[in-house]
Amino acid sequence: MVKLNRIYTKTGDDGTTGLVRGPRRPKFDLRVEAYGTVDEANATIGQARLHTGSMPKVDMILSRIQNDLFDVGSDLATPGADDPAAEYPSLRVRPVQTEALEKQIDQFNAGLAPLTSFVLPGGSPLAAALHVARTVTRRAERITVELTAAEPDTNPEAVRYLNRLSDLLFVLARVANGNGTKDVLWVPGNNGDVKKGG
């Protein structure tokens, strides 16, 4: 059970923050950046859920993902291996969570119109919001990859989860656009009425 009775503690006024274990780190530390960006991705998914009224199945999936992302954040905020004598193991992202995303990608992608070009973000409010969530998730993935290179004991499943999540958000954005029939497609070199040299 998590109990949060105080909203501010003043312990971060020196520009550091506490992880689940280990010494305090600067707030610009790569590990803090990683789990902070995961939190940002979670917030964008919360915004996307404001538009899921007519798609309860998608909303249910996004709700589960928001919980998963707290697991990812906790994992990234817990550096190093567990003490073998610890009573409880640290919360880590597990392969089964990534596999659940893969199953949903396959399930939803099977009903989508074939792609003939790259998809531009937009088409509907839900699709646009899911594309924002997708791009923030990609950024979280890139930072976590960098963290894994710097601190090899980082759980590699966190990277895999974020990678599959960004793919699922792309697929769900297409689902939100009439299963891809209302996607806005990229037209290479389509500059409208822009004059050359102007």
Question: Looking at residue 62, which CATH number applies to its domain?
Answer: 1.20.1200.10
Q: Residue 88: what residue type?
A: Y
Q: Which residue has the tokens 């659940």?
A: 100
| Structural domain includes residue 197 | no
Q: What is the dihedral of CA 129, 160, 154, 43, to 10 degrees?
A: 10
| Structural domain includes residue 1 | no
User: Domain containing 135: what range?
Assistant: 25-80+93-185
Instruction: Copy the structure tokens of residue 67.
Output: 């919980």
β 25-26/184-185 pair status? unpaired
Distance CA 28, CA 65 (A): 26
pLDDT in tens, 33-78: 999 999 999 999 999 999 999 999 999 999 999 999 999 999 999 9
| Structural domain includes residue 13 | no
| Structural domain includes residue 15 | no
pLDDT in tens, 80-137: 887 777 778 888 999 999 999 999 999 999 999 888 899 999 999 999 999 999 999 9
| Structural domain includes residue 193 | no
Confidence (pLDDT) at 80: 84
| Structural domain includes residue 3 | no
What does the buried/exposed string (b/e) look like for 34-51 if buried means 16 or more CB atoms within 10 Å of the residue's CB?
Answer: bbbbbbbbbebbeebbeb
Distance CA 73, CA 82 (A): 17
Instruction: Copy the structure tokens of residue 21.
Output: 């274990």
How far lies 183's CA from each of 65, 127, 196, in Å?
Answer: 24, 9, 29
pLDDT in tens, 17-35: 766 887 887 777 899 999 9
Residue 185: strand pairing partners:
119
Confidence (pLDDT) at 4: 60
Q: How many structural domains compose the chain?
A: 1
| Structural domain includes residue 29 | yes
Distance CA 157, CA 189 (A): 39
β 119-120/184-185 pair status? antiparallel
| Structural domain includes residue 14 | no
